[in-house]
Structure 1
Amino acid sequence: MYWYKAVRKTILNTSVLLLLGSGYACNKPEIKETGAELKYFDIKGYFNQEATRLVKLDPEVTKSVSHNGTSESKKVHVKSWQQELNLFAESDINKPAWRNSYTIKNDADSTVYTAKDPELKTRQIVIKKQGDKITAVTIVNNTHNFLYNTSERLVYLPGQYYSIDKKQQVKVMGANDYRVKGDF
């Protein structure tokens, strides 16, 4: 009986330590970088500015949502542009640990950031410009492990539309396709 109590106590203590450790890992403070220190395009800053701009404009958007081919569409005024554009902002690649993790290819009208490491979620970002004006942002994300694979293609054309195409393959549950599109 003594060994049972000892094993149970060890498992309980280990569980508590793991929970505390994972809580710290998930909540450790991020090191904020100033705009002068950013190596790559400031995706998070750009989409925060767009969210602020769109809140002021309050445009009517024709929003279409589909799941595995079943779709619905209606005209709406988006209540929270910050939330609506969150997936775009979350694709920020300006983390200190990723400082040298992306190749940069500049053309006359575009900049392409491509991940060097296949384990990075954000695989590619394409910023298209006309002069200093951004005309399109395309982001490709991919997350995978032994249980699932998720790929996302995010497109934002200021003043025209935004779209989120997401494909999920979960081993036990099968495939799901999602699409959200908002036409301005």
Structure 2
Amino acid sequence: MVQRNRIFSASLLCAFSVWVISCTGSADVQSDSQTSPYFGLEAYFNSEATRLQERAPTVTKTVSKNGETETHDVRIGNWQNELALFIESDINKPAWQHSYQVDSTASLLTYTAIDPDLRTEQITVEKDTNGHIKRIRIVNKVQNMLYQTGEQLDYYPDSLYRIIRKQRVQIIGESNYAVSAFIR
């Protein structure tokens, strides 16, 4: 059991460290939600964080690093931090106003980066027939001379959120991380 807790703690620390290294642009000027050309991920996930903080659900969280997996039932103390990767993927920055191709149908809205250097490559928002969000998928990537990171973030309101990250660092090699959390 002590070994499991060490693996779980080490996995969380590694995942957090990787996230800190790969995040860019958090100090950018935020756009006004009234004039945002794209779906407002930041506003949506801030609202979800507030709602989940008040609801305080139990979460069955599975953390995996390079095939070693642990599962625990937890209560999230800070949903703002828990959903930070989703919030950081917001593309409503003034400089990016014309940087994404928009495709939409009645139930699906997709933003695809035109510029290959942008961190957030694609956002897909899926809605049900009543217009309620069923799923949000975000695909991020960061690539430079030292490392390459790919992320897939999935969020199903009141059900599940998942983060899958593959990272290749020069000298160190490849690491695979996954976090799946079932909201009850």
Q: TM-score, normalised by structure 1?
A: 0.83
Q: Between Structure 1 and Structure 2, how many residues are aligned?
A: 159
Which residue in the other structure is 2:132 paired with? Answer: 133
User: Post-superposition, which runs of at least 4 consecutive aligned residues in structure 1 deviate over 4 A?
Assistant: 26-30
- Distance of 2:127 and 2:100 partners within structure 1: 20
- Distance of 1:179 and 1:116 partners within structure 2: 27
Q: Which has the higher contact order (CA 8 A, sep 6+)?
A: 2
Structure possessing the higher radius of gyration over alpha carbons: 1
- Distance of 2:26 and 2:59 partners within structure 1: 37
Q: How far off is 1:132 after superposition? A: 2.1
Structure 1 residue 112 corresponds to structure 2 residue 143: no
Q: How far off is 1:36 after superposition? A: 1.3
Q: 1:108 to 1:122 in 2, by over 3 A?
A: same
How does 1:165-184 map onto structure 2 within 5 Å?
165-184=164-183
Q: How far off is 1:61 after superposition? A: 0.4
Which residue in the other structure is 1:154 paired with? Answer: 153
Q: How far off is 1:171 after superposition? A: 1.4
Which residue in the other structure is 1:67 paired with? Answer: 65
- Distance of 2:146 and 2:127 partners within structure 1: 38
Q: Deviations over 1:85-107 (max 9, x none)?
A: 00000001001110000000001
Q: Which moved more, 1:128-137 or 1:59-68?
A: 128-137
Which residue in the other structure is 1:93 paired with? Answer: 91
Q: TM-score, normalised by structure 2?
A: 0.83
Which residue in the other structure is 1:3 paired with? Answer: none
Task: Extract unaligned runs of 5+ from structure 2.
Answer: 1-23
- Distance of 1:27 and 1:150 partners within structure 2: 16
Task: Extract unaligned runs of 5+ from structure 1.
Answer: 1-25
Q: How far off is 1:147 after superposition? A: 1.3
% of aligned pairs identical? Answer: 43
